[in-house]
Amino acid sequence: MDQQREEHGLNRCLEAIGLPKSTYYYRKNRSTEPSEEEQELMDHVREIIGEHPGYGYRRILPELEERTGQTINHKRLRRLLSEHELGLSRQVSGHSPSPVQEILGNAAGDLNLVAGLDPGPLEAFSTDFTELSYAGGNRKAYLMAVVDLESKYVPGWAVGPSANRKLAMRCWDQVRERMENLGEGLDEKIIHHDLDSVYTSYRWLRAILLDDEMHISYSENGAKGNPWIESLWGRTKAEVGSRITEASSLPALRTVFDERFRYYNQDRRHSSIGQIPPREHLGKTLDTPESEPQIAAVS
């Protein structure tokens, strides 16, 4: 452009290549070196694309805002994707697997740490998401809960509009708090779930493996390899299904599950632990108080 503008004029040159004058001046005056903020932003973008190679800017945007805690203009994101040659000319079928996918692929067949295991109380947990229909079946939400394999105790749950990392971490924060109240650490314990993208994400892995020093176990055949949480979903929907459907809002739905799991832990008898409630069972096996630790509802 600068080579031709003297001979042909700036306006004619811009018209020839279809470039707005504002864009020309922006790029001409812009520093050649990206700022520290932009570099950090692009690190997040590349991480998202590595985990979700089929995402365009519309799906990258909410992920990016969740990870950075910032409101990001979609035009800025599109510009960055273009400048860094990360637009959706990417082919989903030909993408290279992320480091996590490579590790899991290489370990296929050995990912399930709970198969054949006979854990003690609060030594191994199962989790997953389940979809909920509420407001007379006109709205959808998602529930994530964590259940102890041995005692059937549920130390954490959360309800939200999407089955994403944000909901998973809300649930897990409640698990951490309730386990602390029980006097139990999380290190060396096992969390078992499927290969959902949330449970293979860097945020989840960092929390479980690095922050809590736990072991992660994966079901390699979906729901069949995770019967503990499937059993919890079956019992829950059978016993409070009508209340779920009748809930008119997300806060009302959360109240349903707050009441449900407090009852489930404190009062509901379970045949596998001698027809007593999970908290009573834990009180006998762990020598902990039998009253349920009170934790604020997870919104």
In the DSSP assignment, the letter for residue 191 is: E
12 vs 18: CA distance, rounded Å: 10
176 vs 98: CA distance, rounded Å: 28
pLDDT digits over 263-280, tens only?
999 999 999 999 999 999
254: nearest Cα among 202, 296, 213, 288? 296
pLDDT grade, residue 26 (50/70/90)? low
Which is it for the CA torsion 278, 284, 290, 293, positive or negative? negative
99 vs 39: CA distance, rounded Å: 21
Q: Which residue has the tokens 């969740």?
A: 66
3-state secondary structure of 298: coil
248 vs 257: CA distance, rounded Å: 14
3-state secondary structure of 219: coil
133 vs 248: CA distance, rounded Å: 11
Query: Where is pLDDT greater, at 24 or 238?
Result: 238
Angle between the N-to-C axes of helices 21-29 and 10-17, in degrees from 0 to 180, rounded to the nearest 10: 100
Average pLDDT over residues 131-137: 95
Average pLDDT, the chain: 88
140: nearest Cα among 251, 250, 255, 299? 250
Q: Which CATH class is domain 106-286?
A: alpha beta
CA distances from residue 152 to 209, 224, 257, 279 in whole angstroms, order as listed: 23, 18, 16, 9
Task: Tell me the H-state helices in 182-296.
Answer: 202-205, 227-246, 250-266, 278-286
In the DSSP assignment, the letter for residue 276 is: B
209 vs 203: CA distance, rounded Å: 10
50: nearest Cα among 86, 89, 104? 86
Which is it for the CA torsion 288, 291, 293, 299, positive or negative? positive
Would you state the pLDDT for residue 10? 81
pLDDT grade, residue 55 (50/70/90)? confident
Average pLDDT over residues 131-135: 95
pLDDT greater than 80 at residue 295:
no
Domain limits, CATH 3.30.420.10, in the chain? 106-286
52: nearest Cα among 191, 202, 221? 202
With a pLDDT cut of 70, the percent of the chain lying above it is 89
**C-alpha R_g of the chain:** 25
As given in the structure block, the two tokens for residue 101 are 């996918």
Would you state the pLDDT for residue 20? 75
290: nearest Cα among 272, 271, 269, 267? 267
As given in the structure block, the two tokens for residue 63 are 């992920």
Average pLDDT over residues 132-143: 94
Query: Where is pLDDT greater, at 289 or 150?
Result: 150
Would you state the pLDDT for residue 298? 47
pLDDT grade, residue 49 (50/70/90)? confident
Would you state the pLDDT for residue 29? 64
pLDDT grade, residue 14 (50/70/90)? confident
